[in-house]
Amino acid sequence: DAKTTQPPSMDCAEGRAANLPCNHSTISGNEYVYWYRQIHSQGPQYIIHGLKNNETNEMASLIITEDRKSSTLILPHATLRDTAVYYCIVRVHPRGGTADYGGSQGNLIFGKGTKLSVKP
């Protein structure tokens, strides 16, 4: 799986948009970009994922560059409860709807992430 690079920490003012960058310059054509976040002492929570098109859901937006070497997670109106560590992960998605039983393929590799602090 491709490796990702994220800044170790970022600050954001409450109510403003939080833009979290991620570099994945070695990403291959069949690797998806996933974002998770982890609030202190809890399990990580899925946020969003995408392949090459921009994606939006009720939590966030994901902007992927045309060359797919980087992406940005956008929290449009950050709140204090968004303070967490945000993980950017790329992984191969198994094709054809078959189960991926092969080795570690498809397993998510979590780096250190970006610690986002939302301040009043």
Partner 1 sequence: DGGITQSPKYLFRKEGQNVTLSCEQNLNHDAMYWYRQDPGQGLRLIYYSQIVNDFQKGDIAEGYSVSREKKESFPLTVTSAQKNPTAFYLCASRRAAGPNEKLFFGSGTQLSVL
Is there binding between residue 21 and partner 1 (CB under 8 A)? no
Is there binding between residue 113 and partner 1 (CB under 8 A)? yes
For partner 1 (CB under 8 A), the number of binding residues is 27
Is there binding between residue 98 and partner 1 (CB under 8 A)? yes
Question: What's the Cα-to-Cα distance from 56 to each of 31, 64, 106, rounded to whole Å?
Answer: 19, 12, 23
53, 58, 112, 120: residue in contact with partner 1 (rule CB under 8 A): 112
Question: Site map for partner 1, 35-74, x if CB under 8 A?
Answer: -x----xxxxxx--x-------------------------
Residues in CB range of 35: below 8 A, 6 or more apart: 20, 22, 46, 47, 48, 49, 60, 62, 73, 86, 87, 88, 89
Helix, strand, or coil here: 71?
strand
Looking at this protein, which amino acid is placed at residue 28?
S
Q: Which residues bind partner 1 (CB under 8 A)?
A: 34, 36, 41-46, 49, 87, 93-94, 97-101, 103-104, 106-113
